[in-house]
């Protein structure tokens, strides 16, 4: 065979192989398209009509390829269902981690209960602001806020004090991590900050006298607790201590629901007196105090503000004047009026008195004229009912001489003897001043404008014209 015929046979063989490869690749491409079309139809969930091409008998007899569409659909649905579950798990995991930190705070052992004192005004020790105030439970100081640039945050970083208490919401926080602390062992701190009493506890206050023990080991009787003398407020301490042991008034202010819903006009500062007095009353009767004494600082600050500095912490005052003003201010702050609307103050402290008055004729008149005057309406007995808050009592006079120990003898008189003039039997005769012509009623005081004296008119005045006259006679 020649070389030319060999080259032709090789070319024909190469062309035959290329044509077979093209036909096989075309069939495989068509088969892949047919397999892909049912799969897409299954994923869309709607039937799709597929156009079949004429295939050779060998292809029809071959087994149909397996369609993985249902499996793909199930896997996709499983993935869609698992995505929210994974989000919930992630969210729950984050909540669980925060809850784990809140309930297992490692800084609870740094709390120093011996330095905690919630009796003072809730002001930041740096900015002097009462908004969003927090108490550091390690050193006892007050700071504002818990943000990144707040005074509480800076204090926690500088001094490594981590446990803080919000003085308004009564929630505990750990700074600078800034998460809430939830622990039942901190309940005693919130109770000292804001004591609460149930109706059953209030009813049992007078039935059982049980001594309580403070955090420092001091025993005390609730209600009989000392009040700190800040500077010169002992006169107010005596009045507040006495009022705290009046059972009806005490029971009313121990339960905050009795007065917290009283409506007052906007800008009224007098209701602050009611709130501070209720807080002081609950602290005095708190059986779980950290110390056996209470500071009335917030109460006295409200007194200074509401009385417009009439009663102050730095100056001594009269206890009776303070009691009179305080009861009247408390009555008006609770919504009471002079005549119609009553409050707990008038129910407890206000009394009623019947005053019988009878006019008597002049003793120098003849007997017949006296009897005629007694039949007139002017000389008949009249009765007037009057309310009172205070009674004026006639105390015995102080002795002039001292006893053998060079001390004044203070007379001891029973209270019932002093109150005898109000028993309805004892009469008191009062002389009325004479009615002068030209005046509609008797006058207690009558002031005349006298002319200047003339020297030497009575022989007693000096030449300088001294006044009054030494001889007690008017110079004319």
Q: Are residues 230 and 334 in the same domain?
A: yes
Of 43 and 342, the structure prediction assigns the larger pLDDT to 342
Domain presence at residue 286: yes
Tally of CB atoms within 10 A around 350: 14
pLDDT tens, 211-247?
999 988 899 999 999 999 999 999 999 999 999 999 9
Pick from 381, 356, 359, 385: nearest CA to 370: 359
> CA 165, CA 141: separation in Å to the nearest integer?
11
Count structural domains, the chain: 3
Domain termination site, one of 167, 191, 215: 191
Domain termination site, one of 132, 159, 191: 191
Per-residue confidence band for 452, with pLDDT thresholds at 50, 70 and 90: low
| Strand spans (E) along 70-166 | 133-136, 142-144, 163-166
Least confident of 85-89, 301-305, 318-322, 419-423: 85-89
Q: Are residues 249 and 290 in the same domain?
A: yes
How big, in percent rounded to 5, are the helix, strand and coil portions of the chain? 40, 10, 50
The pLDDT, as a whole number, for residue 321 is 94
247 CB-near residues (< 8 Å, 6+ apart): 205, 206
- Domain residues for the domain of 146 are 108-191
Q: Are residues 318 and 369 in the same domain?
A: no
Residues 315-339 have a mean pLDDT of: 92
Tally of CB atoms within 10 A around 354: 9
The answer to whether 378 and 370 have CB atoms below 8 angstroms apart is: no
Q: Are residues 199 and 335 in the same domain?
A: yes
pTM (predicted TM-score): 0.66
Residues 188-217 have a mean pLDDT of: 91
Domain presence at residue 262: yes
For the domain that residue 266 is a member of, what is the CATH number?
Answer: 3.90.70.10
3-state secondary structure of 224: strand
Domain presence at residue 37: no
Q: Are residues 166 and 255 in the same domain?
A: no
Average per-residue pLDDT for the chain = 77
Domain presence at residue 3: no
The pLDDT, as a whole number, for residue 254 is 95
pLDDT at 405 exceeding the cut of 60: yes
Q: Are residues 201 and 295 in the same domain?
A: yes
Q: Are residues 334 and 209 in the same domain?
A: yes
Of 429 and 139, the structure prediction assigns the larger pLDDT to 139
pLDDT at 83 exceeding the cut of 90: no
Domain presence at residue 457: no
Residues 198-218 have a mean pLDDT of: 89
pLDDT tens, 328-366?
999 999 988 887 788 999 999 998 888 888 888 888 888
> CA 49, CA 447: separation in Å to the nearest integer?
126
Domain termination site, one of 337, 361, 395: 395
Residues 120-140 have a mean pLDDT of: 93
Q: Are residues 337 and 221 in the same domain?
A: yes
Q: Are residues 239 and 185 in the same domain?
A: no
Q: Are residues 255 and 370 in the same domain?
A: no
Q: Are residues 280 and 358 in the same domain?
A: no
Q: Are residues 200 and 333 in the same domain?
A: yes
Per-residue confidence band for 51, with pLDDT thresholds at 50, 70 and 90: very low
Domain presence at residue 274: yes
């Amino acid at each position: 065979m020649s070389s030319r015929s060999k080259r032709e046979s090789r070319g024909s063989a190469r062309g035959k192989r290329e044509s077979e490869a093209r036909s096989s690749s075309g069939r495989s491409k068509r088969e892949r398209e047919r397999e892909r079309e049912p799969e897409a139809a299954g994923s869309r969930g709607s039937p799709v009509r597929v156009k079949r091409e004429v295939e050779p008998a060998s292809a029809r007899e071959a087994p149909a390829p397996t369609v993985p569409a249902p499996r793909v659909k199930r896997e996709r649905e499983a993935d869609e269902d698992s995505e929210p579950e994974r989000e919930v798990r992630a969210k729950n995991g984050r909540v669980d981690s925060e809850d784990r930190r809140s309930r297992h705070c490692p800084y609870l052992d740094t709390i120093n209960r011996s330095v905690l004192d919630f009796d003072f005004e809730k002001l930041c020790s740096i900015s002097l602001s009462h908004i969003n105030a927090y108490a550091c439970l390690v050193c006892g100081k007050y700071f504002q806020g818990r943000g990144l640039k707040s005074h509480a945050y800076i204090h926690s970083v500088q001094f490594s004090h981590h446990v803080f208490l919000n003085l308004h919401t009564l929630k505990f926080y750990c700074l600078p991590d800034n998460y809430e602390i939830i622990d039942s062992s901190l309940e005693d701190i919130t109770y000292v900050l804001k004591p609460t009493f149930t109706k059953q506890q209030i009813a049992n206050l007078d039935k059982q006298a049980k001594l309580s023990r403070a955090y420092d080991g001091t025993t005390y009787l609730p209600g009989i607790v000392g009040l700190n003398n800040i500077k010169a407020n002992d006169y107010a301490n005596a009045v507040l201590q006495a009022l705290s042991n009046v059972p009806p008034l005490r029971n009313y202010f121990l339960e905050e629901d009795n007065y917290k819903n009283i409506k007052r006009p906007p800008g009224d500062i007098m209701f602050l007196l009611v709130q501070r007095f209720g807080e002081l009353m609950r602290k005095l009767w708190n059986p779980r105090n950290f110390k056996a004494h209470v500071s009335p600082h917030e109460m006295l600050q409200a007194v200074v503000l509401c009385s417009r500095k009439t009663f102050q912490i730095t100056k001594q005052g009269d206890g009776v004047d303070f009691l009179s003003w305080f009861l009247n201010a408390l009555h008006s702050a609770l919504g009471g009026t002079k005549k119609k609307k009553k409050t707990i103050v008038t129910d407890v402290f206000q009394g009623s008195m019947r005053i019988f008055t009878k006019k008597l004729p002049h003793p120098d008149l003849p007997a017949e004229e006296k009897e005629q005057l007694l039949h007139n309406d002017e000389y008949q007995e009249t009765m007037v009912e009057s309310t009172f808050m205070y009674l004026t009592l006639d105390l015995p006079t102080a002795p002039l001489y001292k006893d053998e120990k060079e001390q004044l003898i203070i007379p001891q008189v029973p209270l019932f003897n002093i109150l005898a003039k109000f028993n309805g039997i004892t009469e008191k005769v009062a002389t009325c001043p004479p009615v002068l012509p030209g005046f509609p009623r008797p006058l207690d005081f009558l002031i005349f404008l006298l002319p200047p004296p003339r020297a030497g008119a009575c022989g007693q005045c000096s030449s300088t014209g001294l006044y009054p006259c030494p001889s007690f006679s008017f110079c004319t």
